[in-house]
Amino acid sequence: MPMRCCRQLVAVFLAVVSICGRCCADELEQRIDDSVNRAVQWLVTDQLPSGAWRADNYGESTAATSLAVMALMAAGHVPDEGPYGRHLTKGVAWVLGEQQANGLLVGAKRSHGPMYSHGIATLMLAEVSGMVNESQADRCQKGLERATKLIVDAQNHPKGRQHDGGWRYQPTSGDADLSVTAWQLLALRAAKDIGCDVPSQNIDRAIAYIKRLRVERGGGFGYMAGHGATVTRSGTGIVALEVCGEHRTPETMAAAALILSRPLTKQEHYFYYGVYYCTVGMYKVGGDEWQQARPVLYESVLDLQHPAGFWQPIHGSERGAGNTYATAMSLLALCIEYGYLPIYQR
């Protein structure tokens, strides 16, 4: 075959591959958009008359409500505007109404680990602070400032050397773990970004704590010092460091490599937690790593959506958290490239 014909065939082949790639990308994006719309419609119907959302085993929950509010915002909705603005405003008002005298954003029905709910709710207030209406703005700002101070005070509570810089279940805990720490760090970064008083040394101590959880052999992060790495924990560690400007560091890249080598599956004990943290984390890492992880992560959650629009956790401790939790976490993952929530932007 003449060389010219060969070159023409190669050119045609590459053009076809390019078109097929664009079609696949367009198809995935359309699936995401359709999924997000159905999930949003289900989520607003699940809101209680009080403005709260439920966590199945815990009743009305500041964590579930805050995740639902952030999920709606991540999908492009804002308080007091559009078809779901009133849902957001009521949700924010309910969370603020549950704040205790010491600043803790946990209602009367507490779980064993109130700092989980507190960190998530503080993050939500920081993200929504500049979007609420005038009548709610002052209350939101003051509530956020009190909540942020509690997080800083809890970090400063005396702890052993290996736990210094982290957080655990209670404001007065003397130890720390990766999961609780990540939520507090996200909340502090979001609050600092909008002008709240967060000393830089507290952020630096949290970064140092996360780095001490790195698992040298195989990469990733452990739940506590000396613990092994999982896919979910690796995503959590990446997000915690990336939001603090630790971009594509040896720690985050080793964790990204672990996620790529061991894709998240529905058998993961904390699957929806992993969907959220791994998607946000790999998006933050960016580059070829994100392009490789992107379709796998998206499709893993898209395939599990119920026709009615929600996701249902079925394994381990997540099962008790309920459909609102799973749906909100899935939405936050699927909407990452929409870029509406400041904390998740690159």
Encoded tokens for 259: 């996620």
Residue with tokens 């500041």: 62
pLDDT, mean of residues 177-205 = 97
Domain ranges of the chain: 213-304
What is the per-residue pLDDT across 71-129, written as a single tens digit (0 to 9) for each?
Answer: 999 999 999 999 999 999 999 999 999 999 999 999 756 566 899 999 999 999 999 99
The separation between CA 12 and the C-alpha centre of its own chain, rounded to angstroms, equals 43
Neighbours of 286 (CB within 10 A): 14
Measured CA to CA, the distance from residue 240 to residue 277 in angstroms comes to: 9
**CB contact at 8 A, 321 and 259:** no
Q: Side chain identity at 46, as an amino acid letter? A: D
Q: At 184, which helix (H) or strand (E)?
A: helix 178-193
Residue with tokens 């909340």: 187
**CB contact at 8 A, 176 and 167:** yes
HSE, CB side, 13 Å, CA atoms: give it for residue 242: 25
What is the per-residue pLDDT across 82-94, written as a single tens digit (0 to 9) for each?
Answer: 999 999 999 999 9
What residues contact 218, with CB distance under 8 A and at least 6 apart? 229, 258
Q: Is the full-model pTM beyond 0.85?
A: yes
Measured CA to CA, the distance from residue 47 to residue 176 in angstroms comes to: 33
